Amino acid sequence: MTNKVAVITGANSGIGKETAKALAQQGVAVVMGCRDADRAETARQEIAAESDNSNVVVIPLDLASLQSVRDFVAEFGRQYDHLDLLINNAGLFPFKKQITQDGYETQFGVNHLGHFLLTHLLMPRLQKAEQARVINVASMIHHLGKIDFDSFRGETRYSPLGAYGQSKLANVLFTRELAKRCKGTSVTAYSLHPGAVGTNIAGRGLVRRTLYKLLGGYLTPARGAKTSIYLATAPGIESTSGSYYDEYCKVKPGSKRSRDAALAERLWQVSAQLLGLDAA
């Protein structure tokens, strides 16, 4: 894994931090895309020390701001000429409706749309790698999700779990469509369920963390990072591009909606339109 470069969003805590640590220990140059600069720098120092790898850096990234995504990609491009691994790990699960800087419901805006833009803008660097992988951290909650194209700007009544399910379904659909569009190239894509991990996804406050654990978040982040690390490092998985993996590193079919090719293509087209991108 030496001479490889990885970008990991939300790498200052939880699954992202454990994934960054594991890859750094294998000699990967790790770029941490993080919103909180102080926490990110503390985590960076810890990861660099424990891995004995000085090639761990932080580039500011707030997925709730499309301009921040663009700024991140511009800075990455100034420092690196290629990208081997893009791990779209960051995610939010707010209990109350929130709106991003660009006017999108936050779970859709951060968990899906921000990562969609990030992946699109980093594609030229991914295509320069000998073999690049895009890894999207989804959830088994995508089984509960549906895509409501009239809800993306928070127009409809907010359900925290409903919005989360929609965003995680979007992750799986995005993965399948990306794999289809990258077929025959050096870029492959995978989505995964990390397990019921006790992270700060619902917020850092004691009440929010307790509520999230009561909803089933009990595994350690190190255990939850297992599948992300597997997909980043396992040889010979290119033939499974587009697949959804479970917490035991096994390919699973995913929900019926997640296998809807027409829905995946429509979500791609609408996402690209919202971002002013070429949908081709």
Active site residue 164: yes
The strand pairing partners of 188, in sequence order, are 133
Strand, coil or helix: 51: helix
For the stretch 204-243, what's the b/e string if a residue is b when 16 or more beta carbons lie within 10 angstroms of its beta carbon? eeeebbeebeeeebebebbbbbbbbbbbbbeeebeeebbb
Q: What angle do CA 57, 242, 223 make, to 5 degrees?
A: 55
Q: What is the DSSP string of 153-184?
A: TS-SPP-HHHHHHHHHHHHHHHHHHHHHHTTT
Alpha-carbon distance of 267 to 43, in angstroms, equals 35
Could you give the CA distance from residue 144 to residue 149 in angstroms, rounded to a whole number?
Answer: 16
Catalytic hit among 164, 190, 230, 245: 164
Residues labelled as active-site residues: 164
